[in-house]
Amino acid sequence: MIQDFKMTGREFLELDSPQQRLYLERVKRMEIMHKLLNELPKSDQNLCNHGSYFLAGNASLCGLTANNFFRKILNIRKAAIVSALPMAAIPFISTVAVYDVFLRDPLFSGDLDCQVCAVVRGGLIGAVVGSFYPIFMAVPVNGSLAVRYSSAPLPGKENLLRFWLTVSQPVFKKMRFGVLVQVLTGVFLATKHHGIYVKVLEKMKPSRDPEELQA
Protein backbone atom coordinates (compact mmCIF):
# COMPACT_ATOMS: atom_id res chain seq x y z
CA MET A 1 0.00 0.00 0.00
CA ILE A 2 2.87 2.34 0.81
CA GLN A 3 4.39 1.62 -2.59
CA ASP A 4 1.10 2.39 -4.30
CA PHE A 5 0.92 5.66 -2.37
CA LYS A 6 4.44 6.57 -3.51
CA MET A 7 3.55 5.81 -7.10
CA THR A 8 0.43 7.94 -6.83
CA GLY A 9 2.41 10.83 -5.39
CA ARG A 10 5.08 10.50 -8.08
CA GLU A 11 2.46 10.42 -10.80
CA PHE A 12 0.86 13.52 -9.31
CA LEU A 13 4.16 15.38 -9.29
CA GLU A 14 4.92 14.30 -12.85
CA LEU A 15 1.47 15.29 -14.06
CA ASP A 16 1.83 18.04 -16.65
CA SER A 17 -1.64 19.55 -16.84
CA PRO A 18 -2.52 22.95 -18.34
CA GLN A 19 -3.52 24.16 -14.87
CA GLN A 20 -0.09 23.28 -13.49
CA ARG A 21 1.71 24.96 -16.37
CA LEU A 22 -0.42 28.07 -15.93
CA TYR A 23 0.30 28.11 -12.20
CA LEU A 24 4.06 27.71 -12.72
CA GLU A 25 4.09 30.46 -15.35
CA ARG A 26 2.23 32.76 -12.97
CA VAL A 27 4.66 32.04 -10.12
CA LYS A 28 7.63 32.63 -12.43
CA ARG A 29 6.11 35.90 -13.66
CA MET A 30 5.56 37.11 -10.10
CA GLU A 31 9.16 36.29 -9.17
CA ILE A 32 10.48 38.20 -12.19
CA MET A 33 8.24 41.19 -11.45
CA HIS A 34 9.37 41.18 -7.83
CA LYS A 35 13.03 41.26 -8.89
CA LEU A 36 12.36 44.05 -11.39
CA LEU A 37 10.45 45.98 -8.74
CA ASN A 38 13.58 45.98 -6.59
CA GLU A 39 15.39 47.73 -9.45
CA LEU A 40 13.04 50.71 -9.34
CA PRO A 41 13.79 53.83 -7.24
CA LYS A 42 13.27 53.52 -3.51
CA SER A 43 10.32 55.93 -3.65
CA ASP A 44 8.46 53.58 -6.00
CA GLN A 45 9.34 50.55 -3.89
CA ASN A 46 8.15 52.22 -0.68
CA LEU A 47 4.91 53.37 -2.29
CA CYS A 48 4.29 49.91 -3.68
CA ASN A 49 5.00 48.10 -0.41
CA HIS A 50 3.57 50.59 2.09
CA GLY A 51 1.18 52.80 0.13
CA SER A 52 -1.90 51.08 1.53
CA TYR A 53 -0.90 52.31 5.01
CA PHE A 54 -2.00 55.84 4.03
CA LEU A 55 -5.49 54.58 3.21
CA ALA A 56 -5.51 52.45 6.37
CA GLY A 57 -4.41 55.38 8.53
CA ASN A 58 -7.29 57.46 7.21
CA ALA A 59 -9.62 54.54 7.92
CA SER A 60 -8.49 54.60 11.55
CA LEU A 61 -9.19 58.34 11.70
CA CYS A 62 -12.65 57.76 10.24
CA GLY A 63 -13.31 55.12 12.87
CA LEU A 64 -12.15 57.32 15.74
CA THR A 65 -14.12 60.31 14.44
CA ALA A 66 -17.33 58.32 13.99
CA ASN A 67 -16.83 56.79 17.42
CA ASN A 68 -16.51 60.26 18.95
CA PHE A 69 -19.70 61.47 17.22
CA PHE A 70 -21.73 58.49 18.45
CA ARG A 71 -20.37 58.86 21.98
CA LYS A 72 -21.57 62.48 22.08
CA ILE A 73 -25.00 61.65 20.69
CA LEU A 74 -25.49 58.77 23.15
CA ASN A 75 -23.97 60.71 26.08
CA ILE A 76 -21.33 58.04 26.73
CA ARG A 77 -18.70 59.30 29.17
CA LYS A 78 -16.94 56.08 30.12
CA ALA A 79 -14.75 53.48 28.39
CA ALA A 80 -13.17 55.99 26.02
CA ILE A 81 -9.99 53.97 25.49
CA VAL A 82 -11.85 50.65 25.31
CA SER A 83 -14.03 51.92 22.47
CA ALA A 84 -11.21 53.78 20.70
CA LEU A 85 -8.79 50.86 20.40
CA PRO A 86 -10.92 48.61 18.15
CA MET A 87 -12.17 51.61 16.17
CA ALA A 88 -8.56 52.45 15.29
CA ALA A 89 -6.99 49.01 14.94
CA ILE A 90 -9.65 46.96 13.14
CA PRO A 91 -10.28 49.44 10.24
CA PHE A 92 -6.51 49.81 9.78
CA ILE A 93 -5.87 46.08 9.54
CA SER A 94 -8.96 45.45 7.40
CA THR A 95 -8.12 48.20 4.91
CA VAL A 96 -4.53 47.01 4.42
CA ALA A 97 -5.66 43.39 3.98
CA VAL A 98 -8.47 44.17 1.53
CA TYR A 99 -6.35 46.59 -0.53
CA ASP A 100 -3.51 44.08 -0.85
CA VAL A 101 -5.78 41.13 -1.65
CA PHE A 102 -8.09 42.84 -4.15
CA LEU A 103 -5.79 45.41 -5.77
CA ARG A 104 -2.06 45.25 -5.10
CA ASP A 105 -1.56 41.47 -5.35
CA PRO A 106 -3.75 40.99 -8.47
CA LEU A 107 -2.01 43.95 -10.10
CA PHE A 108 1.52 42.65 -9.64
CA SER A 109 0.56 39.08 -10.41
CA GLY A 110 -0.73 40.10 -13.84
CA ASP A 111 -4.41 39.45 -13.09
CA LEU A 112 -5.36 43.15 -13.20
CA ASP A 113 -4.03 44.91 -16.31
CA CYS A 114 -6.84 47.43 -16.78
CA GLN A 115 -6.01 50.86 -15.33
CA VAL A 116 -9.67 51.88 -15.12
CA CYS A 117 -10.51 48.66 -13.25
CA ALA A 118 -7.66 49.28 -10.81
CA VAL A 119 -8.77 52.88 -10.21
CA VAL A 120 -12.38 51.82 -9.67
CA ARG A 121 -11.28 49.16 -7.20
CA GLY A 122 -9.16 51.68 -5.36
CA GLY A 123 -12.06 54.11 -5.05
CA LEU A 124 -14.46 51.39 -3.90
CA ILE A 125 -12.01 50.09 -1.30
CA GLY A 126 -11.50 53.62 -0.02
CA ALA A 127 -15.24 54.23 0.20
CA VAL A 128 -16.50 50.88 1.51
CA VAL A 129 -13.66 49.53 3.66
CA GLY A 130 -11.85 52.77 4.40
CA SER A 131 -14.82 54.90 5.45
CA PHE A 132 -18.28 53.26 5.52
CA TYR A 133 -17.06 50.17 7.35
CA PRO A 134 -15.55 52.14 10.29
CA ILE A 135 -18.72 54.23 10.55
CA PHE A 136 -21.02 51.18 10.60
CA MET A 137 -18.66 49.48 13.04
CA ALA A 138 -19.10 52.36 15.50
CA VAL A 139 -22.83 51.61 15.80
CA PRO A 140 -22.66 48.26 17.66
CA VAL A 141 -19.61 49.38 19.66
CA ASN A 142 -21.35 52.43 21.07
CA GLY A 143 -24.73 50.75 21.22
CA SER A 144 -23.37 48.12 23.58
CA LEU A 145 -21.73 50.83 25.71
CA ALA A 146 -24.98 52.82 25.85
CA VAL A 147 -26.80 49.74 27.12
CA ARG A 148 -24.06 48.87 29.59
CA TYR A 149 -23.82 52.31 31.16
CA SER A 150 -27.46 53.37 30.56
CA SER A 151 -26.24 56.64 29.07
CA ALA A 152 -29.20 57.05 26.71
CA PRO A 153 -32.72 55.58 26.65
CA LEU A 154 -32.96 52.95 23.93
CA PRO A 155 -36.28 51.94 22.34
CA GLY A 156 -37.70 48.47 22.11
CA LYS A 157 -36.93 46.01 19.33
CA GLU A 158 -39.83 47.22 17.20
CA ASN A 159 -38.38 50.77 16.99
CA LEU A 160 -34.68 49.88 17.20
CA LEU A 161 -33.96 50.17 13.47
CA ARG A 162 -35.68 53.56 13.22
CA PHE A 163 -33.76 54.75 16.28
CA TRP A 164 -30.35 53.88 14.83
CA LEU A 165 -31.22 55.38 11.47
CA THR A 166 -32.11 58.62 13.22
CA VAL A 167 -28.94 58.55 15.32
CA SER A 168 -26.68 57.64 12.38
CA GLN A 169 -28.01 60.26 9.97
CA PRO A 170 -26.14 63.27 11.44
CA VAL A 171 -22.98 61.17 11.79
CA PHE A 172 -23.00 60.24 8.11
CA LYS A 173 -23.59 63.87 7.17
CA LYS A 174 -20.58 64.97 9.21
CA MET A 175 -18.46 62.16 7.75
CA ARG A 176 -19.13 63.03 4.11
CA PHE A 177 -15.83 64.85 3.75
CA GLY A 178 -13.97 61.88 5.24
CA VAL A 179 -15.64 59.52 2.76
CA LEU A 180 -14.65 61.79 -0.13
CA VAL A 181 -11.04 61.91 1.11
CA GLN A 182 -10.92 58.13 1.30
CA VAL A 183 -12.32 57.72 -2.21
CA LEU A 184 -9.74 60.14 -3.61
CA THR A 185 -6.96 58.49 -1.61
CA GLY A 186 -7.93 55.06 -2.95
CA VAL A 187 -8.04 56.39 -6.51
CA PHE A 188 -4.66 58.10 -6.07
CA LEU A 189 -2.99 54.97 -4.67
CA ALA A 190 -4.46 52.75 -7.38
CA THR A 191 -3.23 55.14 -10.07
CA LYS A 192 0.26 55.23 -8.57
CA HIS A 193 0.40 51.46 -8.17
CA HIS A 194 -0.71 50.93 -11.75
CA GLY A 195 1.99 53.38 -12.88
CA ILE A 196 4.60 51.34 -10.98
CA TYR A 197 3.19 48.18 -12.56
CA VAL A 198 3.67 49.74 -16.01
CA LYS A 199 7.27 50.60 -15.14
CA VAL A 200 7.90 46.99 -14.22
CA LEU A 201 6.33 45.81 -17.48
CA GLU A 202 8.63 48.14 -19.43
CA LYS A 203 11.59 46.42 -17.81
CA MET A 204 10.30 43.00 -18.85
CA LYS A 205 11.83 43.10 -22.32
CA PRO A 206 12.29 39.94 -24.38
CA SER A 207 15.91 40.90 -24.96
CA ARG A 208 16.69 40.43 -21.28
CA ASP A 209 18.05 37.04 -20.32
CA PRO A 210 15.58 35.21 -18.07
CA GLU A 211 18.50 33.47 -16.31
CA GLU A 212 19.86 36.91 -15.45
CA LEU A 213 16.57 37.87 -13.81
CA GLN A 214 16.55 34.67 -11.78
CA ALA A 215 20.14 35.08 -10.63
How is the chain split into domains, by residue range?
52-213
Sign of the CA dihedral running 37, 40, 45, 51: negative
Q: What is the pLDDT of residues 10-55, one digit of tens each?
A: 444 444 567 676 666 666 777 777 788 878 888 888 898 899 999 9
Q: Each residue of 100-123: pLDDT tens digit?
A: 999 998 988 878 889 999 999 999
pTM of the model: 0.81
Q: Is the pLDDT of residue 80 over 70?
A: yes
**Which range has the worst mean pLDDT, 5-14, 49-58, 127-136, 198-207?**
5-14
| Per-residue pLDDT at 87 exceeds 60 | yes
What's the count of helices (H) and strands (E) in the chain, helices before strands? 11, 0
Average pLDDT over the chain, rounded to an integer: 84
Nearest to 60 by CA among 214, 182, 189, 200: 182
Query: d(Cα 77, Cα 89) in Å, to the nearest integer?
Result: 21
Dist CA 202 CA 105 (whole Å): 19
* Helix, strand, coil tally for the chain in percent (to 5): 85, 0, 15
Residue 2: is its pLDDT beyond 50? no
145-192: pLDDT as tens digits: 998 888 888 777 778 888 889 999 999 999 999 999 999 999 999 999
Of residues 128 and 23, more confidence is placed in: 128
Percent of the chain residues topping a pLDDT of 90: 52
pLDDT at 12: 44
